[in-house]
Structure 1
């Protein structure tokens, strides 16, 4: 695994690392060197050399600004070192990709950085997917055989952990967001399309539509990631005929009357009842924020 060193004027590099670890968990191979407000090029050069001495190669240095002191000092000292690559244009999407995809080339990483820049309002103005009825009979051979690679409850739906980590690590081909409100909200649907990886298909469906489509085999052998906003929708999905074996609880935020089960999961008494109901249907409930975290038995944790 290559080491990554983020370098910047002031606290930008430290802030990016903090945001990175909020999304993907602790990353010991990502380091930070800053040009302090009261420092200069000599201070920065000494700190960078000290940091680099402690690291095994290969190393990727990501600088905040092309032509800035951090970038220039890095280039001056490591231009001739074939085990050190240097990129300018520090951004969170770039660092996430570099961290999670050790095989990504410099060209790949630059492409990620470019696609992370978008006119958000302009992109939201997208044509709604046609709602024409689809003949499900032609998918009959896949009926009841959906290739579901993960089922997750995440109140934020598609965000960094889902789009950047879970879906990519599972080689997902289609994300199915299952929530009645989201399926009827054109603005939210557009936002979800923007948040989803461009390499994956996306469906935003009501609970009833999702159960019908998945069980009918509409998506064939596609690797499907089912994403729910709350446990009540999961229960409704099962009651509508959907088949589930395991559900991973990721993020459920604080609500009035809720209590903490894990740092990222808060449940109300009503939600506890729903989870207990799911267990009676033979569904295993786990808690796991990101793939590198251990998977725990959520029900046992909740009952304590």
Structure 2
């Protein structure tokens, strides 16, 4: 895996790394070097060289600003080093992509970074979510051969629904073809649907469904052999899905934030007493519940952790 060195004026590099690790977890191969507010090119060059000495093999340097001192110093020292690539124009999407996609070329990373820039208001007005209403039993007959055979690649509880971890890490790693967000409120809110469409990878289909509709459509085989990623906002919706006839083998708990009276189960999961009861009811239906923030984190037995 190539090393990544973020360089910037002030604390930008450290801030981007902190945001990166908030989304994808600790990254030992990502490093930083900064031009201090009271520093100069000599101070920065010394720090840069010290960092580079400690790195072995291929290194990608990502600078904050084309023509700025960090970028210029890096270019002066490593322009002719075949093991070093240099990109200017640091952004969080660029750094995430470089971190997770070690095979991407510099040109591909730049293109991906550019595609992450959008006029949000315009995009939200244009965003369309596939209409996926409850269909009649007669209409579902055409999917009979797939009934009860939905190809579900992951089921996640994440109160943020579609965000960086779901869209940028989990979905691509599982070769997802369709993300289905299952929540009654989201299914009724056109603005939230547009936001979810913007957050979802453009290469993937998206359905935003109420709990009862999702259970019926998925169990009917409506999505054929598509690789489906189910995202629930909370454990109550998971239990309601099961009670409505949905079938699940495993559920991964990703993010549940703090609420008054909640206790920590993991760093990213805070659970209320009444939610503990819901999880027990889900487990009683022979569903295995795990906790795993991102794919390279260890898989935790959630119920064991909850009961400890």
Q: TM-score, normalised by structure 2?
A: 0.95
Which residue of 230, 250, 267 corresponds with 2:234? 230
Residue aligning to 1:65:
65
Secondary structure of 2:251's partner?
A: strand
Residue 181 (structure 2) pairs with residue 177 (structure 1) = yes
CA shift, 1:141, in A, is 1.7
What is the 5 A alignment of 1:36-185?
36-126=36-126, 127=128, 129-130=130-131, 135-185=139-189
Structure 2 unmatched runs, 5+: none
Maintained 8 Å contact 2:132/2:207: no
Residues 190-247 of structure 1: CA deviation (Å, up to 9, x unaligned):
1111111122111110001111111111111111110000011001101111110000
Query: Alpha-carbon deviation of 1:88?
Result: 0.7
SS at 2:242's partner residue? helix
Instruction: Answer with 256-265 or 145-154: which moved more.
Output: 256-265
Look up the match of 1:2. 2
Corresponding position of 1:276: 280
* Deviation by residue 1:19-45 (Cα, 9 ceiling, x = unmatched): 000111111100101111111111111
Which is worse superposed, 263-272 or 12-21?
263-272
Q: Which residue of 2 aligns with 1:197?
A: 201
Q: Bigger CA drift: 7-16 or 41-50?
A: 41-50
- Tell me, in whole angstroms, the C-alpha distance in 1 between the residues paired with 2:87 and 2:207: 36
The structure-2 alpha-carbon separation of the partners of 1:92 and 1:46, relative to structure 1 and needing over 3 Å to count, comes to same
User: How much has 1:129 moved relative to structure 2?
Assistant: 3.8
Unaligned runs of 5+ in 1: none
**Are residues 133 and 300 of structure 1, via their aligned partners in 2, closer, same or farther at CA, if it must alter by over 3 Å?**
closer
Q: 1:174: Cα distance to partner?
A: 1.0
Rounded to whole Å, the distance in 1 between the matches of 2:284 and 2:15 is 44
TM-score (norm 1): 0.97
Q: 1:196 to 1:66 in 2, by over 3 A?
A: same
CA distance in 1, matches of 2:192, 2:251: 24
Q: In the aligned structure 2, how far is the partner of 1:245 from the partner of 1:153?
A: 14
Whether 1:261 and 2:265 are equivalent positions in the alignment is: yes
CA distance in 2, matches of 1:15, 1:119: 24
The structural deviation recorded for 1:295 is: 1.0
Q: Alignment RMSD, CA only?
A: 1.3
2-side partners of 1:141 and 1:104: how far apart?
40
Q: C-alpha deviations, 1:153-212, integer Å up to 9, x for none?
A: 011111111111111211111111000000110111111111111221111100011111
Confirm or deny that 1:241 pairs with 2:245: yes
Offset from partner CA, 1:129-151 (integer Å, 9 cap, x none): 44577643332221111111110
| Paired position in structure 2 for 1:27 | 27
After superposition, what is the alpha-carbon deviation per residue over 1:36-74, rounded to whole angstroms, capped at 9, x for unaligned? Answer: 111111111111111111111211000101111111111
Structure 1 Cα separation of the partners of residues 175 and 107 of structure 2: 21
